[in-house]
Structure 1
Amino acid sequence: MAASSRFWGVASGMAAGALWGLVFLAPKVAPEASPMMLTAGRYLAYGLIAALLIAPRWRRVVAALDWKAWRALIWLSLAGNIVYFVFLVVGVHFAGVGASALIVGMVPVVVALWGLKDKDSPPLTRVAPPIVVAALAVGLIGWESLSQGSGGEHGGVQTLIGLACALAALLSWSAFAVGNSRWMVRLPAVTPHEWSLLTGVVTGGLALLLAVPAVLTMGPSSGEAWMRLIGVSLGVAVFASIIGNAFWNQASRLLPLTMLGQMIVSETLFAFLYGFLWEGRGPTVIEVIAMILMVVSVIWCVRAHRPAALAAAEGDH
């Protein structure tokens, strides 16, 4: 029975990673859409679906929240969804799928480093080696991206902007991961799934505010471009935000935290795979080395860190 649970837990974690990895392709599938428009479209769709799913239990869940909880939901929705996705889209546009996926895939390492000030956290000497490995991986993929984008000064500047935005997305998502974990502990009356749906509803409301200025950033676009944007928004909302999170919740129930943290690596690997398929090429030697270093760094850091820090890497994606 334990072996069966472990198998289905790993399968669920891999499925979540495969669906989350699709997010990195969104800017490529709808290149005409601005980062703001892609963000507004995705989270309007997600907010609507989340509202429909939480509607039957809305009164009970809302009764457990105070103003501080609502304020937390607002900043968590900004950090983990709106701000994160805008930076990610810009990163993919300018630095590519592979570089952005690898940098954002370092979330468990950043979260572990963030948790060093918590009580019972491991000494810096235990987490420093995997952090150095992670920095080496990011340095390699950054050098590779700059080499590929050095066809002129403008290309190099765009690549630097893309890498900086991917790093900003990493920090934004890491802040969400830590804050989200701590708020779920403070509200035992609200289940993780309900908290995720509440985050989706609040994110949808913020996306509604973003929609008007976002439309202005689109410029003149064909009906086909708008249909592509709608399709991408609905697809990412359903497959990544709804079904992907459901698979992750299933993995969370079946796997120990030490294994669950390592499942996050699958998102990055699938994003790389999708990027290579989209571009019709295989990975370069440096990309392969960077991916291996990233996987080693995340697994090493997860195993070196305490279970409480691993839980911080969980949450709505």
Structure 2
Amino acid sequence: MSPPAPHPRTHPGLAGGVASGVAAGALWGLVFLAPQLLPDFGALQQSVARYLAYGVLALALLVPRWRRATAPLGKAEWRALVALSLLGNLLYFVLLASAIHAAGGAATALIVGLVPVVVTVAGVRRHHASGPRLRALAGPCVLSVLGMALVAVDAVRAGRGLNSDAASSIGGLACAVGALVSWSAYSVGNARWLERRPDISSRDWSLLTGVATGGLALLLAPLALLWDASAHEPGAWLRLLGISSALALFASVVGNAFWNAASRRLPLSLAGQMIVFETLFALLYGFLWEWRLPGLLEIAAIACLLGGVLWCAARHAPAQAPAHAG
């Protein structure tokens, strides 16, 4: 039996949900470094390697209790897992890696960083959606967009793109927009399924998504090998394996588990704002990778992004109820 629905103005576990969202963003931000660490491999190869590793790891964790974890699933749930795996994992990462190679990490983080605004708007427009109305969240959304715009201005002014060819950069920005659409659709769809099936734990749903993603990656493996027939040194393949395995563990298994916990504890309008932390951590890791301090515009952008999230959280806080485990 499903637990009784909370009062429409009540959001149990707000603090825990926000903490889970921050943790997920910190781990997902690592993904933006992968294309820079693996310049010899194409986006499809990186995606297939990462999600094959994710699938193997998720399956290994589920094997001891496979029957119990899959017993509640019907055809509709498996179809949803496959669709979510394609949108939020394979397609998203291919588009993201392509965008970073062609347009640079900062510009890509900027565009993908608009996911919080898209998801927040989708959350408050949902039928019977709880939490404040869109008008009350307009300020936080505008502040987030301003932060993204400052990142864009700084990236263009500093010329930090990885590819100086105009046509290629435009293609990269188009890939970034595609990644934005793909991840937004995943975020909304995943939150709805977690809400629809409260009897399935966040951890199991994450691991089952990994199994579905691994299956799709296995189907795409021959295409990934044929797409780029370039010869690679053994050390390059070992680097691909190591980075893919690390991303599978930290970004996919652990990061997705944190995100599902946040999605279950927070209203979609607030959960969407949590994705801002992926952008913030992506920028932080980028600064560490380039071994430099952020410029004034970048500091202003980070302040706007954090301000938007905290402002959005404050709009929900008056309705907070005592936290409980999600």
**TM bracket (short chain):** 0.7 to 0.9
Inter-partner Cα distance in structure 1 for 2:61 and 2:252 = 13
Inter-partner Cα distance in structure 2 for 1:88 and 1:307 = 37
Name the aligned partner's letter for residue 23 of structure 1: V
- Write the deviation string for residues 177-216 of structure 1: whole angstroms up to 9, x where unpaired: 1111111222233211111111000000001111111112
| Aligned equivalent of 1:25, options 33, 42, 45 | 33
- Write the deviation string for residues 73-109 of structure 1: whole angstroms up to 9, x where unpaired: 1111111111111111122222322332343333332
SS in 2 for 1:131: helix
Q: What is the aligned partner in structure 1 of residue 70 from structure 2?
A: 62
Q: CA deviation at 1:248?
A: 5.4
User: How does 1:1-317 map onto structure 2 within 5 Å?
Assistant: 14-118=22-126, 119-120=128-129, 122-149=132-159, 155-218=165-228, 219-246=230-257, 264-304=275-315
* Count of equivalent residues: 302
CA contact (8 A) 1:112 1:301 kept: no
CA contact (8 A) 2:154 2:297 kept: yes
Inter-partner Cα distance in structure 2 for 1:88 and 1:67 = 30
CA contact (8 A) 1:45 1:204 kept: yes
- Write the deviation string for residues 108-131 of structure 1: whole angstroms up to 9, x where unpaired: 322110123222454332222333
CA contact (8 A) 1:109 1:297 kept: no
CA contact (8 A) 1:88 1:165 kept: yes
Q: CA deviation at 1:34?
A: 0.5
RMSD over aligned Cα atoms: 3.3
Amino-acid identity (%): 51
Q: CA deviation at 1:53?
A: 0.8
- Write the deviation string for residues 220-269 of structure 1: whole angstroms up to 9, x where unpaired: 2222221211111111111222233455577789x877997765444322
Deviates more, 1:278-287 or 1:298-307: 298-307
Given the superposition, is the C-alpha separation of residues 129 and 256 from structure 1 closer, same or farther in structure 2, using an over 3 Å criterion?
closer
CA contact (8 A) 2:194 2:263 kept: no
Deviates more, 1:242-251 or 1:291-300: 242-251
Name the aligned partner's letter for residue 275 of structure 1: G
CA contact (8 A) 1:146 1:156 kept: no
Given the superposition, is the C-alpha separation of residues 307 and 213 from structure 1 closer, same or farther in structure 2, using an over 3 Å criterion?
farther
* Structure richer in helix, relative to its length: 1
SS in 2 for 1:134: helix
**Structure 2 spans left out of the alignment, 5+ residues:** 1-12, 320-326
SS in 1 for 2:165: helix
Q: CA deviation at 1:15?
A: 4.6
- Write the deviation string for residues 57-81 of structure 1: whole angstroms up to 9, x where unpaired: 2222322122111111111111111
TM-score by length of 1: 0.82
CA contact (8 A) 2:124 2:134 kept: yes
Inter-partner Cα distance in structure 2 for 1:109 and 1:149 = 26
Inter-partner Cα distance in structure 2 for 1:91 and 1:157 = 12
**Structure 1 spans left out of the alignment, 5+ residues:** 309-317
Q: CA deviation at 1:14?
A: 4.8
TM-score by length of 2: 0.80
Given the superposition, is the C-alpha separation of residues 278 and 62 from structure 1 closer, same or farther in structure 2, using an over 3 Å criterion?
same
Given the superposition, is the C-alpha separation of residues 69 and 291 from structure 1 closer, same or farther in structure 2, using an over 3 Å criterion?
same
Name the aligned partner's letter for residue 276 of structure 1: F
Deviates more, 1:33-42 or 1:9-18: 9-18
